Copies of this chain bind each other. A is one copy, B any other.
Amino acid sequence: MSKLIGNAVFGQSGGPTSVINASAAGVFQEALKQENIVKVYGAAHGIRGILDEVLYDIGQEDSKELDLLKTTPSSALGSVRYKLANPDKDDTDYKRILEVFKKYNIRYFFYNGGNDSMDTCNKISKFMQKAGYECRVMGVPKTIDNDLWATDHCPGFGSAAKFIATTTMEIFLDARVYDTPMITVLEVMGRNAGWLTAATALAASKGYGPDLIYLPEVPFSMEKFLSDVEKVYKKNGKVIVAVSEGCKNEQGRYIPEMVKDNLAKDAFGHAQLGGAASVLAEAVKEKFGTKVRGIEFSLMQRCAAHIASLTDINEAYMAGQEAVRAACAGITDKMIAFERVSSNPYKCVTKLVNLSDVANTEKKLPAEWIINDGTFVSDDFVQYALPLIQGSPEYTLEDSLPRFAQLKKVLAKPE
């Protein structure tokens, strides 16, 4: 193994999470310690910051502020959804990245994101290798959706699941205070996988959860939905439904699109409609004539750092730290993944998986965990998810409000 001495850059990509900055703290604090790494840079808005040469010199930051990153939600460096072209068709961006890497002597590239970002990492690494530029590239996983292949779970999921479970429990109580019928529809994120929506089952495991759970893994039928709701409604007059924003019918159309179709037939097609929760709440109201509430957990489920899971924070930090350690040990083209080596007591260690294997794959909820004719998840899911939401961090507060990390963001200079 060659000793590679140079600078490191870290970027954040895709939708933010409550703990994405904990991975940043892990990368930064570990990289600042490593002898092979001279300077540590943070790229503004992921790959865009590299293309635009907006790199922050992390060595200039106060260590106290870097610590505060652990409890500061939402990409502190800024994120990006920019997708690099296929280098075989257009290598403009890759050439530019190589140019910037040379200019700043970047020899270590750490990228934090989901499967798209791992694809980006992989393409960049392959291009550097072809160009004969030595650079170690490591992916750090991140997604509240928990849909990355080859890892037991993803940093970000545990905290989002904890917010969803806790909030569902609270809403359960709120939705039952009156002695009148009421149907509540909760909308949860997850465009293709139902992990987050399933997290409402954690609330149910404590006795304060939804009656019905609709996942993107199961084709959605409005008729069946209304009949499922009717059964619960007739029995106890109160219904709580959790629905994934990603639910689609057999034709692959999302819930709001399904209704748009119907409206179109009625010549009201351009009426602006809400998300899945408001569409289903409306459908239920029409059928049962009862009081309904459609509630979207919206951005809160991915940024509610005030109810983050300490386990999630620690593991997100560890993922960042291990990416740096592996790269300094000579490893490249891998993503840090989690392996659950023991369930009781829960123990999780990191492992390395090929970037190329993770890129553009997707992990769905196991079919055997989906029960009750596609309207609930089994205890297997609860046992899987419960360890991931454990513990609360020590928060730094100011007037009982969060004190977020404040980075100076001093611009890096070329070598």
Contact = CB atoms under 8 A, between A and B. Distances in A.
B274 A278 contact: yes
Nearest to A395: B392
A174 interface: yes
Nearest to A184: B299
Given A73-B174, A173-B73, A401-B165, A295 B295 contact: no
B293 A295 contact: no
B307 A299 contact: no
A64 interface: no
Interface string A168-195: 0111011111110000000000000000
A157 to B, nearest CB: 14
Kindly report how many copies of this chain are found in the complex they form together.
Answer: 2
Which of A44, A272, A295 has most chain B Cβ within 10 Å? A272
A304 B177 CA distance: 15
A389 B401 contact: yes
Given A74-B177, A75-B177, A274-B278, A170 B305 contact: yes
A301 to B, nearest CB: 10
Contacts of A179: 44-45, 48, 78, 80
B174 A299 contact: yes
A306 interface: yes
Contacts of A390: 399-400
A215 B296 CA distance: 23
A166 interface: yes
A249 B291 CA distance: 27
Nearest to A172: B74
A78 B171 CA distance: 14
A386 interface: yes
Contacts of A73: 170, 173-174
B271 A170 contact: no
Interface stretch (A123-131, A201-209, A337-345, A358-366): A201-209
A302 B80 contact: no
Given A73-B174, A177-B75, A299-B174, A274 B274 contact: yes
A372 interface: no
Given A293-B299, A299-B174, A304-B170, A386 B399 contact: yes
Given A78-B179, A173-B404, A400-B162, A295 B306 contact: no
Q: Which 4 A-B pairs have the closest CB atoms?
A: A271-B271, A74-B173, A174-B303, A170-B303
